[in-house]
Amino acid sequence: MNTTKPLETELDIERLGGRGDGVGKVGDEKVYVPFTVPGDHVRARVGGRRGEGFSAELIDVIEAGPDRAEPPCLYFGRCGGCAMQHVTPVAELEWKRRLVSDALGRRGLDEVPVSDTVTVPADSRRRTTFTVINAGGRILLGYLARGSHRVIPIQSCSVLDPDLECLILPLTALAHNLPIPRKGLQVSLTKTGSGLDIVVGGRKDLTLELRERLTEFSRQHDLARLSWGAKHPEPVIMQRTPTVEFGGITVEPPMTGFLQASVAAEKALSDQVVDHLNDCKHVVDLFAGIGTFALALAGEGRGIRAYDGDEEAISALRRAVNNSAGRVNIDIEVRDLEQRALSADEFTKVEGVVLDPPRAGAKRQCRALAQSGVRKIAYVSCAPGTFARDARSLVDGGYTLKSVVPINQFPWSSHVELVGCFEK
């Protein structure tokens, strides 16, 4: 196909690709068309190379496929936050289940049972980051456009918890009085058990006037905490300590610490992990963070060892354990597991392991685990490809992958979370 200039053509969409784009063919060449579904007959503008095919821009849906839905958000197609609002919920969940199944199949794990995808309410996202820019005197607050650094200003967002969504307009008004760097600034919001925790990523030192303005905003909207700073944010005002709760234990998360995107998704993940490891009395939590799974498991006399390379996260977990009045028993260690994975010998007497690594997976750690005598493993992943790679190592080491449960933590996105349960 000649790609020296864009080509307008009609084509049929046959399936959804790994990023959620529709895949069709022009001649023998694959063409990826965003915002389409299988069965669509569309007109598209074919552009440059993309992997084994070509990227394209949707011009018009001539005939709609059976899985097409009306997007609920007026910004969909411009804002890069969502990719799948044009797909029916049933089709989205099945596509995400198939993403996991296909990733396992590419590693020769075709026979592994992959459950139906567990989903959460769309408007349950408890954390987000907005970008704010000064576009020639126009202050814009929103999300980046798909594949671009261009900011799409928004006044609402269908995936946010209502307590976050209702601050979009007030934050936009506040931004008119903020010093905005040429490249813009980030405003991060997290809903905690004690209220909203906001970090404004400003790069200039706070003036007295700006400090007073931020303090007034925080009080007006009853924020738990508002902080200022890009690299090392400092609290401007804290009316209440931001807290979250795991297994009935209160944790004070670091200002920029990691939390699962929604309480509902966190519960879905924890339920799978706890159910699988319930009969294990000695458990190791790898990539433990602030203790999402360690604390959920730490009752009923169970002994837990928790490891993570993030010192702030581990400090938060340690404080929570120390403040629990002896209700939980967790040995905690700062350790970079990507550089210094636990050896097989360090799992002596350990019955169960839970690990929740970053997107890159846990290649070294799983090779060591494969040589261990650990009876059960619960692997939480946000990347089916690296999970399948690590699952192959564990299966080659004698484990059976008993089940995989996909979890739709990010509705309308192309991302899927999962829990894989192994036994030896």
**Residue 210, domain CATH:** 2.40.50.1070
Q: 301: buried, middle or exposed (CB in 10 Å: 19+, 13-18, 0-12)?
A: exposed
- From 203, 238, 273, the end of a domain falls on 238
Amino acid identity of 315?
S
* Same structural domain, 152 and 33: no
- Report yes or no on 2 lying in a domain: no
Between residues 145 and 257, the one the model is more confident about: 145
pLDDT band at 120 (very low <50, low <70, confident <90, very high): very high
Same domain assignment for residues 110 and 162: no
**Same-domain status, 222 and 108:** no
Please tell me the predicted confidence (pLDDT) of residue 128: 98
Q: Is the pLDDT of residue 82 over 80?
A: yes
How would residue 2 be classed by pLDDT, with cut points 50, 70 and 90? low
| Cβ neighbours, 10 Å, residue 9 | 17
Across the strands, what pairs with 30? Answer: 25, 53
User: Tell me, what CATH number does 290's domain have?
Assistant: 3.40.50.150
At 17, which CATH number? 2.40.50.140
Our answer to whether residue 382 is catalytic in this structure is yes
Same domain, 101 and 154: no
Task: Please state whether beta strands 417-423 and 376-381 pair in parallel, antiparallel, or not at all (unpaired).
Answer: antiparallel
> Looking at the structure, do residues 289 and 379 belong to the same domain, yes or no?
yes
Q: What was the pLDDT predicted at 300?
A: 75
User: Which pLDDT belongs to residue 391?
Assistant: 99
224 in a structural domain: yes
With respect to residue 247, please indicate whether it lies within any of the assigned structural domains: no
- 1 occurs within a structural domain: no
pLDDT for position 376: 99
Rounded Cα distance, 210 and 208, in Å: 6
Residues 395 and 268 in one domain: yes
DSSP 90: H
Take residue 296 and report the two structure tokens written for it.
């959920």
Question: Does 326 have pLDDT greater than 90?
Answer: no
Residue 83 lies inside a defined structural domain of this protein: no
Q: Determine, yes or no, domain membership for 366.
A: yes
The number of CA neighbours under 13 Å toward the Cβ of 22 is 29
pLDDT > 80? residue 1: no
pLDDT at residue 6 is higher than 80: no
The token duo for 356 is: 């929740």
Q: Do residue 297 and residue 384 come from a single domain?
A: yes
Confidence (pLDDT) at 257: 83
**pLDDT score recorded for residue 185:** 95
Residues 135 and 57 occupy one common structural domain? no
Where among 206, 238, 270 does a domain terminate?
238
Residue 4: band (very low, low, confident or very high) from pLDDT cuts 50, 70, 90: low
Across the range 373-387, mean pLDDT stands at 98
- Predicted pLDDT of residue 3: 59
Q: Are residues 374 and 312 in the same domain?
A: yes
CA nearest to 334, candidates 303, 307, 364: 307
Same domain, 278 and 388: yes
Contacts of 4 (CB under 8 A, 6+ apart): none
In DSSP terms, which residues pair with 246 in a beta bridge? 249
Handedness of CA 110, 115, 116, 120 (dihedral sign): negative
Give the length of the chain: 424
Domain membership of residue 216 (yes or no) is: yes
Q: Which residue in the list 82, 280, 382, 421 is annotated as catalytic?
A: 382
Residues 296 and 407 reside in one and the same domain: yes
Q: Are residue 414 and residue 265 in the same domain, yes or no?
A: yes
Q: Please check whether residue 76 lies inside any domain of the structure.
A: no
What residue numbers bound the domain in which 224 lies?
127-238
DSSP tag of 137: T
The pTM assigned to this predicted structure is 0.94
Q: With contact defined as beta carbons under 8 Å apart, do 37 and 12 qualify?
A: no
Work out the number of other CB atoms within 10 angstroms of the CB of residue 34. 19
User: What is the end-to-end Cα distance of the chain in Å, rounded?
Assistant: 51
Q: Which amino acid is at 362?
A: A
Q: Compute the average pLDDT of residues 28-46.
A: 97
Query: In which band, very low, low, confident or very high, does the pLDDT at 63 lie, cut at 50, 70 and 90?
Result: very high
The confidence band for 299, taking pLDDT boundaries of 50, 70 and 90, is confident
- Collapsed DSSP state (helix, strand, coil) of residue 96: helix
Q: Which of 238, 272, 304 is the last residue of a domain?
A: 238
pLDDT of residue 167: 98
Q: What's the domain count of the chain?
A: 3
* Distance separating alpha carbons of residues 216 and 202, to the nearest angstrom: 17
